[in-house]
Amino acid sequence: MATKIIPWPLDSIAFKERVVLDGVPYKLHFRWNVRGNFWSMTIKNTKGVALISGVKLVYNYPLIGRYKGRDLPPGEMRILRGESGDDAELARHELFNKTANLIYHEA
C-alpha cells in the first residue's frame, strides 16, 4: 500500500487540485470556512460531478472511508500532523506551511 501526500499551495483560502488516486483522476476542491475556522474538501470526478462535498478536514480521522460506494477513491485520506503538537483543531496555515499533511493511503 503506497502513501501519497496531496499537494497544498502556498497561502490560499480556496483552491483546486487535480490528482490521480489509485490510477483514477479526480478533482479536489478545498475551501477555508472563515466563520467556522476549518478546511472543507469536495471530491469531483473528471466531468465535474461532486462525489462528496463539504467534508471537514480534521486530524487523524478517516475522511472518505464512510462514503464508500460513491465512485470515490478506494483508499483513505487523513490529515497527519508532524511530530510536534496534539490533535487540536486544524489551523488555516498548517497545511501550506507543512506542519500537517493531507495523506492518501492507496487501497
Instruction: Kindly report, residue by residue over 14-62, the tens digit of the pLDDT.
Output: 999 999 999 999 999 999 999 999 999 999 999 999 999 999 999 889 9
Give this prediction's pTM.
0.88
3-state secondary structure of 65: helix
Q: Model confidence over 55-105: pLDDT tens digits?
A: 999 988 999 999 888 899 999 999 988 655 556 678 877 777 778 889 999
Q: How many domains does the chain have?
A: 1
Tell me the residue range of the domain where 85 lies.
Answer: 3-105
pLDDT for the residue 52: 96
